[in-house]
Amino acid sequence: MTDKQTGGALAGFRVIDLTRVLGGPFCTQLLSDHGAEVIKVEPPQGDEVRDWGPPFKDGLSAYFSGVNRNKRSVGLDLRTTRGQEILFQLLEGADVMIDNSKSGSLEKWGIGYEDILAKRFPRLIYCSITGFGADGPFGGFPGYDAVAQALSGQISVNGSPETGPTRIGVPIIDLATGLYASIGILMAAEERHHSGLGQRVDASLFDTGVALLHPQAANYFMSGKAPVLTGNSHPNISPYEQYPTKQGRLFLAIGNDRQFRLLAEVLGQPEWASDPRFLHNSDRVEHRGALNALIIAALREHTAAAVSATLLSKGAPAGAVLTIPEVAEHPHTRHREMVVELDGYRGTGIPIKMGRTPGSIHSTPPHYGSATRDILAGLGYDRGQVDDLIADGVAFTERAKPPA
């Protein structure tokens, strides 16, 4: 949906968003896409990903724009007493506060959840996104996606023997932590219907990275053998790999014997299905090398797009390896509204399709502090009081210069 309607499944749900960078903003954008009111509280220097570019457009980085639509931005210095008073006013009637500052930062400023917020706002759900959680040997340490990929074992199972361990190309742990955080927030909101109380939701990049180690961790727990690099191959399934063709590259994800028979027929090699080496998946995994050699030879006469389309139409998973521009222009992408446009903004669409209460893109990513005056006015501050707050370095409509 690309109109400016409000509503959605989370209409009336109010989120005070203190997060920066990726995991937290991705979480709050998901909530805002489905109708939650999200007020993005930025520090004086702003969310640092505003500077992560190029590319930039109209003063906004692509990185920032990709995870901050449908929000309003207010600049506040929460280290000041008056800034904290404004935060408390924002929290009156709010459902959630979410932050991803370093563990202990809010406590250091005198606005920790357990000591202050939970007592003052007992219905408030507080979600904390950190690198490693607040306790344990790594507790309180900072963490970015690639560091979490490394320390959680993700990098160790990504790549081939030729490349060595390789970072996953998208910041999957940041994004998945944002998803886990949103699920946790909604779980806490559901529980609050029964108890009347909010609670802390603790989401860390490290925990997410470990939780996503499937099936490698499951294989290790059962076999006792450390996973090895398999490149595009799946450790448990064959053929489940990327292959060259006459034109383009093809990924086959053949998960059962019926699908393998279809693959053999489409490639003009029906005898493969009765070859004792390839009868069942366990046989195909054992003879992976021989099977791959046959598939590579057969695909020299086919194009990736044609094989993909034919197999998909017959119920066998296969996909031509598309580039991002190709995905953006693909007819199915457009049919599913997975590229959205609004007032010059272009971004990925809403992946959760709700039948009665669809999400919507109703506002573009905000410039820093663009809603500061309106939000403060909504809290009862008159124009002169807002001017004073800005002059005193409590509230901001423009980013402060970083300290020298």
392 a catalytic residue: no
Structure tokens at 364: 């573009």
Which of these is catalytic: 17, 33, 99, 174?
174
Q: Which residues are catalytic?
A: 174
